[in-house]
Amino acid sequence: MSQFGKLYGVGVGTGSPDLMTLRAVNVLREVDVIVIPQSKKGRKSVAWRITEPNVVKNDAQERLFLTFPMTKDPEILKPAWDIAFTEIGKRLEEGKNVAFITEGDPLFFSTYIYLHKAAQKRWPEVETEIVPAVSSFTAVPSVIQQPIADGQERVAVVPASYGLDTLPQILQLFDTVLLMKVSSIMPRLVEILKNEGLLDCATYVSKATMDFQMTTTDLEAIKNDKCDYFSMVMVKKQDRNGILEGRFKESTES
Ligand SMILES: C[S@@+](CC[C@H](N)C(=O)[O-])C[C@H]1O[C@@H](n2cnc3c(N)ncnc32)[C@H](O)[C@@H]1O
């Protein structure tokens, strides 16, 4: 029997506290330590803002704020993660159950993925559990009431800030394209959508299910604005949906 505590990766959903799952709430009420990631010391954590209304203050429970910088630079990330993972490890070694909270789902573009990998290496005996959650991938379509896919439709998810070179091919192949991390590349993205004749099929959504949620289909109008980090563009073609209504025959060729 391992004397280690258990490590949980808990998704807290995309913004509204009432979109947290019962399981997430139950786990977070029970664990010894809640790890709250913040991008800078003292900066408000979005995941904690979602979680806090659902967990009653409990003096026996530690709320451990750890810094996970918002950068793509491994030279900055690695040492910061090492400090954070060491702090988490200390608690696990003391037999404490530790839950790492994360905005959206823990296995979808989340720092928890790196903690999970590190845990398997650093503390191979540690038991882990993942609590899934409402993700931007489902929240954004629900806010604009656009189906993600039906029947023969194909879906792609693209972290757009990592390069748009292949986007034209992706737009041709897929019926629904969900573009994440768009805030810094809106002007270029709008150009590509225009070239592909798909600007009219695109909707921009920021802060889905959070306070100050915003949606627009006029991407031209907002492309030079300072867009929120929590923003996505959903491109929804309508040419292959509705197969169950007999609109299109299923084809193996395209
Ligand atoms: C680091 S990823 C986190 C994804 C998260 N784990 C999830 O399951 O949605 C951050 C990106 O997800 C998207 N995102 C997350 N939450 C969002 C929200 N509430 N509204 C719009 N986009 C969101 C944005 O594209 C943002 O740049």
Kindly state if the Cβ of 14 falls inside 6 Å of ligand 1: yes
- The per-residue pLDDT for 2 is 63
Sign of the alpha-carbon torsion through 234, 72, 34, 109: positive
pTM for this model (two decimals): 0.93
Kindly state if the Cβ of 209 falls inside 6 Å of ligand 1: yes
Kindly state if the Cβ of 181 falls inside 6 Å of ligand 1: yes
Q: How far is the CA of 109 from the centre of ligand 1 (A)?
A: 8
- The per-residue pLDDT for 97 is 98
Q: What are the extents of the domains in the chain?
A: 7-131, 136-245
Q: CB within 8 A of 96, min separation 6: which ones?
A: 5, 31, 32, 33, 62
Ligand 1 atom closest to Cα of residue 137: 9
Kindly state if the Cβ of 61 falls inside 6 Å of ligand 1: no
Identify whether the C-beta of residue 14 lies closer than 8 Å to the C-beta of residue 136: yes
CATH homologous superfamily for 136-245?
Answer: Tetrapyrrole methylase, C-terminal domain (3.30.950.10)
Kindly state if the Cβ of 180 falls inside 6 Å of ligand 1: yes
How far apart (Å, rounded) are the C-alpha atoms in residues 215 and 188? 19
Strand order, beta sheet including 7-11: 62-67, 33-38, 98-102, 7-11, 128-131
- The per-residue pLDDT for 239 is 81
Q: Could you tell me whether strands 7-11 and 98-102 are parallel, antiparallel, or unpaired per DSSP bridges? A: parallel
Kindly state if the Cβ of 210 falls inside 6 Å of ligand 1: yes
- The per-residue pLDDT for 1 is 53
Q: How far is the CA of 43 from the centre of ligand 1 (A)?
A: 18
Q: Could you tell me whether strands 176-180 and 155-159 are parallel, antiparallel, or unpaired per DSSP bridges? A: parallel
Q: Which amino acid is at 73?
A: D
How far apart (Å, rounded) are the C-alpha atoms in residues 168 and 48? 37
- The per-residue pLDDT for 109 is 97
- The per-residue pLDDT for 250 is 57
> CATH number of the domain at 7-131, please?
3.40.1010.10
Cα separation of the two ends of the chain: 53
Q: What is the mean pLDDT of each run of 10 residues along the chain (254 residues)?
A: 89 98 98 96 92 93 95 91 97 98 98 96 97 98 97 95 93 97 95 97 98 97 94 92 74 52
Q: What SS3 state is found at 220?
A: helix
- The per-residue pLDDT for 104 is 98
Q: What SS3 state is found at 184?
A: coil
- The per-residue pLDDT for 89 is 97
Kindly state if the Cβ of 135 falls inside 6 Å of ligand 1: yes
How far apart (Å, rounded) are the C-alpha atoms in residues 123 and 119? 5
